[in-house]
Amino acid sequence: MPTSTLSPPAPALRILLLGAGGREHALAHHLLASPRVEQIFVAPGNGGTATLDAKRCKNIDVPAGVNGDWKQIVQWSREQQVNFVVPGPEQPLVDGVEQAFRDVGIPVFGPSPHAAQMEGSKAFSKDFMAKHSIPTADYKHFSASEISECLSYIESLGGAQAVVLKASGLAAGKGVILPETKEEAESTVRDILEKKIFGDAGSTLLIESRLTGPELSVLLFSDGYSHVSLPACQDHKRIGEGDTGPNTGGMGAYCPAPEATPEVVAAIERDVVEPSISGMRKDGFPFVGLLFIGLMITPQGPKVLEYNVRFGDPETEAVLELLDPAGASLADIMVACAERRLDSVDVKYKKGHSAVSIVLASGGYPGSYPKGKKITVGSVPEGVKVFHAGTSLSSSNELVTAGGRVIAVSAAGPTLFGALELAYKGVDAVDFEGKTFRRDIAHRALALASKSKQTNGEGFTYASAGVSVTNGNDLVDAIKPLAKSTRRPGCDASLGGFGGVFDLKATGYKDPVLVSGTDGVGTKLKVANDVGPHGHGGVGIDLVAMSVNDLLVQGAEPLYFLDYFSTSHLEVPLARSVIAGIAEGCLQAGCALIGGETAEMPGMYAAGEYDLAGFAVGAVEREGLLPRMDLIKAGDVLMGLRSSGVHSNGFSLVRKIVAHAGLSLDSACPWNSQAPSLGEDLLTPTRIYVKPLLPLLSVPDSTGIKALSHITGGGFTENVPRILPQHLGVSIDLSKWELPPVFQWLQKNGRVATKEMCRTFNCGVGMVLIVEADRVEEVKRGLSERGEDPIVMGRVESEAGVRYQGEDSWTSS
C-alpha cells in the first residue's frame, strides 16, 4: 500500500525580485540555495545578478512602480508565471507593490501599504509606539500651521542640542537634522514645514529627544502572528576608518554585535519586538515580511529609533551568512511568512558564529565618482561571498563599476576575528581603479573584546580604558620634525619636555610688551570631519591664523605657538595631518611651534571627531602697541586686505545654507568650477597677514597705520568698532569691491540680507586698517610691494556706529 503524507507538495517558485543593490544580489544568492526555486527575475538587477546563474537567474528591464504604476510589471509577471514577489528597497513597499500583486493572487514577501507606513511615515510609527508603550524617545509631530508650538516644544526638551528634527516621510536619507543652535533649529523647522525642502516628505515634522548609547539593528521574519529574530547587527556609516568622514549608505556590518548581551536581547524581545508584532496585528495591519528595527541601547534600556520594513544594506549581506542550511531555506522562510505559517518551518542560524560584510566603494564616494572602471575578481577563499551592488556589464560583456558602493564582500566563521580575516582576503581578491574600503570593520566589537579580556582576570591597563600611550608616543615622534621646521631666533622648537622655552632676549626687543591670544576653529571642524582626509591639514593653518592675526592687530610679532588637540580615540595619521597644518601656519606667521597637548578622552567626543584650541604669544615694542586710539580721528581712511574665502567663522550658517540648497559637501562647487568639491573649497585656510603687514608696523607711526581689525565672527559690524574711540564710527562703501563668488552664492541661496552678511562673514576682507588720510598711497604702495591688492573701503566718521553704503551693488551682482 503506498505511503501518504498530509503535507501538499511544495510548488516550484518563480520569483520576481525587485532592486539593484548588494542586498538584492545576496537575496538572490540565498534564494537559489533552495532547489524549489525554479527561476528568479531581478528587476533591474546588476552585474552580479546577471552572472549569478545563467539558467535560473536573469535581469529584466521592465518598468516597476514608476509613479506608483504597477500594471506593466504585474502583467509581465502573470505572463511569465511568476508566483512569488520579493521587494528589496522600501519605496516599492510604501508605494503599494504588495497590494498590486495581492489583487491578482500573487503573494508578496513584504507588508501591506498600511503596514509599510511604519517606515514611510515617522509620525505614524511614533504614534504607534506611543499607543503600544514601546520605548522610544519623547516626541511630538507638527504641521506647517504649528511653527510656534514647534519652537516651544524644542525649548521644553532642553533646546536645540537636545533634539532631533525629522521629516516624517521618506527623504532619501537626508531628512534627519541634529541642530546645534536655537537659530539653526528655528530655521530648520521653517525650512522643512514652510519652504518644503524635502517636498511632501516634510509635510509633517517630527521632533524627538536625542538619545545616547550604542546602536543596534535587529532583523526579524514575521508572518503577522509569530516572528523569528536574527542576531543583532551593527553597521559602519562613515567612509573613513575610526568612523571619520562623511556618512554613506554603509561601509560594512557585522553580527552579532557584542552589545546584544542575553539581557539586552531579552529586553528587546519583551519590550520592543513582541509588542510591535502584536500591536500591528491588533491595529488591523499584521506585519508580513522582514522587519528591521533600529535601536539605541540607552542607560534606561533599549529604545526604538526607527522601523524599516525591508532588509537593510549592508546588514543583509552579513546576517544571511548566519542562516544554517540545516534549517529551512530562505525561500521556504519567506513563503511561510507570506502564507501566515512561519511557525511551521524551522529557522536556524549558526549559533556561536559571526559574520561580516565589507563594502568596496568607488574612489570619491560618497561624493562624485567615476563609472565604467573594469572590475576583476580573482580567486576568493572558500566561504567568502562577493556580492555586487553598483556593477553592470559593459557592451563588451566586461564587469564594470556603475555606482558608489560597488561590491560587498561577506564571510562568516566561528569567531569574529576569523570572519574578518577571511573577508579581508576576499577584499584583496577584488580589484578596480579607485577601490576604497575600510580596514577597521567591527572595530567597536574588537575594542570591547579587548576590554573583556581585562575584566576576565587579566587586569586593567590605561589602554583597556581606551587611552593609547603608544599612539601618543608615536604621534610625538611623527610631529617632532614638523615642529623643528618652525625654529626661529629665541627657540629651537624641540618637543618632548614639560614646557616650551623661549628666549625673548634673543629677539632683540628693547622694551617689549608681550601679547597673547587664544582661539579655536569652530564648526569648520565639522566640515573637515565630513570632507575626510583632505580636510584636516587646512584647519591646522586656520588654528594658527585665528590667534596670530589677533596678535598682529596689537602690532605684535608672533613668537611662538602651542596647540591643544583632543579626541576620544587618537588616530595618529589624522592628528599628524592636523599638526602638519599647524606647523605650516607657524611657518607662514614666522613663529615657532614649541609645544602642545594631545588629550585622548574616551567617550568625550563622537567617534572620529576632535576639537582644537591654539595659543599664541607675540611681542611688540611698547611704543608700537596698537590701536593708537589717541591718534584716530574722523577722516581717517579704512583700507581692507582681501580674504581667501570664508576663513573660520560663520560655518553654522554656511552649513545650513548648503543643506537648504539641497547640496552636500561632496557636491560640485557651484561658485568655483576648479575646486575638487564644495566642501574642499569651503576649507580653504584662513589667510595669515603677518608677512605683508609686520614690516609696515616695525617702526611705530612710520607709515600712518593707526589700527588693525581682524574680521572674524561678527563681521565688520562687530569687529571694526573694537578699535575705535567710543565717540567715533565708520562708513563702509560696499561698492568699492566685488563680493567674492562664495559670498555671492551664500547670500543668494540663503537669502541673507546684506547687513546680515556684514555682521556674519568677512565678505572678502579679512583685515581692516585705519590709515592717516594723507598717507594712504604710501601704505597702498608698501602693501602692493608685498603682493597685496588693498581696498580703500571707507572712512572714520564723527558719529559712533557702522554705516554701509552701496548695499545694492552686492544684491545686484
Q: What is the secondary structure of 152-165 as a DSSP string?
A: HHHHHTTSGGGEEE
> Domain 629-813 sits in which CATH superfamily?
PurM-like C-terminal domain (3.90.650.10)
Q: How confident is the model at residue 33 (pLDDT cuts 50, 70, 90)?
A: very high
Residue 430's SS3 state is strand
Q: What is the secondary structure of 559-615 as a DSSP string?
A: EEEEEEEEESS--HHHHHHHHHHHHHHHHHHT-EEEEEEEEE-TTSS-TT-EEEEEE
Statement: residue 467 has pLDDT above 60: no
Kindly list the distances between the CA atom of residue 572 and the CA atoms of 333, 565, 579, in Å, as whole numbers in the listed order.
Answer: 47, 12, 10
Place of cell 586686505: 641
DSSP conformational letter for 712: -
Alpha carbon distance 479, 339 (integer Å): 65
Handedness of CA 143, 148, 151, 152 (dihedral sign): negative
Alpha carbon distance 312, 499 (integer Å): 52
Alpha carbon distance 135, 301 (integer Å): 8
User: How would you classify the pairing of strands 557-567 and 592-600?
Assistant: parallel
Count of Cβ atoms closer than 10 Å to residue 85 Cβ: 26
Alpha carbon distance 99, 103 (integer Å): 6
Say what the pLDDT of residue 657 is. 93
Where residue 486 falls (left for φ over 0; alpha for ψ -120 to 50; beta otherwise) is alpha
Say what the pLDDT of residue 9 is. 72
Mean pLDDT computed over 756-765: 96
Q: Which of 264-273, 490-499, 543-552 has the lowest mean pLDDT?
A: 490-499
The candidate with the shortest Cα–Cα distance to 358, out of 311, 423, 412, is 423
Statement: residue 240 has pLDDT above 60: yes
Q: How confident is the model at residue 706 (pLDDT cuts 50, 70, 90)?
A: very high
Q: In this structure, are residues 318 and 413 in contact, taking their beta carbons and an 8 Å threshold?
A: no
Say what the pLDDT of residue 335 is. 97
For residues 708-721, one letter each, b for 16 or more C-beta atoms within 10 angstroms of the residue's C-beta and e for the rest, the string is bbbbbbbbbbbbbb
For residues 20-47, one letter each, b for 16 or more C-beta atoms within 10 angstroms of the residue's C-beta and e for the rest, the string is bbbbbbbbbbbbbebeebebbbbbbbbb
- Find the distance separating the first CA and the last CA of the chain, reported in whole Å: 95
Q: Could you report the per-residue pLDDT of 615-651, keeping only the tens digit for each?
A: 999 999 999 999 999 999 999 999 999 999 999 999 9
The candidate with the shortest Cα–Cα distance to 652, out of 564, 742, 713, is 713
Statement: residue 757 has pLDDT above 80: yes
Q: Could you report the per-residue pLDDT of 50-78, keeping only the tens digit for each?
A: 999 999 999 999 988 777 789 999 999 99
Q: Where are the domains of the chain?
A: 13-102, 138-209, 461-625, 629-813
Which grid coordinates are listed for 373? 572602471
CATH topology of domain 461-625: 60s Ribosomal Protein L30; Chain: A; (3.30.1330)
Say what the pLDDT of residue 695 is. 93
Q: In this structure, are residues 320 and 26 in contact, taking their beta carbons and an 8 Å threshold?
A: yes
> In terms of CATH architecture, what is 138-209?
2-Layer Sandwich (3.30)
Residue 252's SS3 state is strand
Q: How confident is the model at residue 1 (pLDDT cuts 50, 70, 90)?
A: very low
Residues contacting 447, CB < 8 A, separation 6+: 466
Sheet with 592-600, strands from edge to edge, namely: 512-519, 610-621, 557-567, 592-600
Q: How confident is the model at residue 474 (pLDDT cuts 50, 70, 90)?
A: confident
Count of Cβ atoms closer than 10 Å to residue 454 Cβ: 14
Q: Could you report the per-residue pLDDT of 260-273, keeping only the tens digit for each?
A: 999 999 999 999 99
Alpha carbon distance 448, 445 (integer Å): 5
Alpha carbon distance 521, 562 (integer Å): 15
Q: How confident is the model at residue 666 (pLDDT cuts 50, 70, 90)?
A: confident
Strand partners for 479? none
Statement: residue 606 has pLDDT above 60: yes
CATH topology of domain 13-102: Rossmann fold (3.40.50)
Q: In this structure, are residues 641 and 788 in contact, taking their beta carbons and an 8 Å threshold?
A: yes
Say what the pLDDT of residue 664 is. 85
CA atoms within 13 A on the CB side of 260: 21
Mean pLDDT computed over 740-763: 95
